[in-house]
A = this chain, B = another copy of it.
Amino acid sequence: MAGNILGKSFVVVSFGESHGKCIGTVIDGCPAGLKISEEDVQRELDLRKPRSLQIHTQRTEEDKVEILSGIFNGYTTGAPICMIVWNRDVRSMDYEVVRYLPRPSHADYFAYIKYGGFNDYRGGGRFSGRITAGFVMAGAVAKKLLREVLNIEVVAYSLEIGGVRAENFTLEDAVKYRYENDVRAPDKSSAEKMMEKIIEARSRGDSVGGIIECVVTGLPIGLGEPVFDSLDSDLAKALFSIPAVKGVEFGAGFKIARMLGSQSNDPFTIRDNKIVVEKNDSGGIVGGISTSAPLVFRVAFKPPASISIPQKTVDIREMKEKELVITGRHDPCIVPRAVPVVEAVTAIVLVDHAIRSGLIPPVLEKRDV
């Protein structure tokens, strides 16, 4: 079946389960000569950690990265980089009860059928959001490559949570502020309102969804390999690999379907002696390749399926309808913790394409003898 490998040139492998020994990743194809340390990776991992007990799971994992291979004397070597975080705070007993009482809109039942009952069901196993820790580790390397080699920055933030949409902010605000607040909003006022929505849902045992927006600056013209490996194709594929994602749109997105061509077209103009677009409803991608305008896309997340409100399910052994109340430790909203994950997978896809386009060489700089 073999679906845990992403990319062609900067190839990311995912392994590990929510309640297994660890969550891990292997990067195959990372150029040699990138200075990187466990601290660099840890910084990204820390952004994914639950920050506030008010709005996050009570499971507190240290999520301390251990680099197992591929780094030597502080630099990447060109060899595969394996990184793991050990699982520590595991209470698997919580899940025994739900084994035969599948949680609605969780993968429990479908995975049970698909894998013939052999899947590790503890904490959702491979279907847990926890596996995105591996994405973040690989993304940390990718982000550093983008920044240091190409001066590309990937900035995601919670555009909308529980119906509260951030509307008055600039990209600069988002860059500065998103990791300063617990919900990863691009501005203070939205952050507070989003926070309230999450707390409110949690208090009722419910959960809320939201939308993450991501903006990438510094891209050159030409990333993306149409027709099938177009940049939007590969980004969308990676983004839908994040648990709970139900929609992806670029630029004007679904709204463009209601525009006229005369509105949606982005005219060319000249600025500073360079050809640029006057506006960016294309979201920085036309024909599947980057236009050098900022890459802009949005990702819709559903509310976490784990809620403590009683739900209708079926006992799959007795084939009887049952009521289910989920206990365990869960996030009432996954959006804030998904922000660094969106950045990570975006960076991974961009590095993959940058290598394919020859923009990132196999060796970043030669060492003197």
Name the distance in Å between A220's Cβ and chain B's nearest Cβ: 9
Q: A218: CB under 8 A from chain B? A: no
Q: A4: CB under 8 A from chain B? A: yes
Name the distance in Å between A311's Cβ and chain B's nearest Cβ: 6
Other than the given A117-B368, A247-B254, 8 more pairs (CB < 8 A) read A4-B26, A110-B291, A114-B221, A227-B241, A248-B248, A257-B300, A261-B307, A278-B312
Contact of A247 among B67, B117, B253, B259 (CB under 8 A): B253
Q: A93: CB under 8 A from chain B? A: no
Once bound together, how far apart are the Cα atoms of A357 and B356, in whole Å?
10
User: A126 contacts B68, CB within 8 Å?
Assistant: no
User: B226 contacts A300, CB within 8 Å?
Assistant: no
Name the distance in Å between A277's Cβ and chain B's nearest Cβ: 8
Q: A201-B260, A233-B241, A248-B247 are in contact. Are A358 and B357 (CB under 8 A)?
A: no
User: A15 contacts B20, CB within 8 Å?
Assistant: no
User: B79 contacts A125, CB within 8 Å?
Assistant: yes
Contact of A270 among B82, B206, B321 (CB under 8 A): B321
Q: A289: CB under 8 A from chain B? A: yes
List 16 A-B pairs, Cβ < 8 Å.
A2-B28, A2-B356, A6-B228, A77-B119, A105-B265, A110-B291, A111-B289, A126-B226, A201-B260, A201-B261, A209-B256, A227-B241, A228-B241, A233-B236, A275-B314, A358-B361
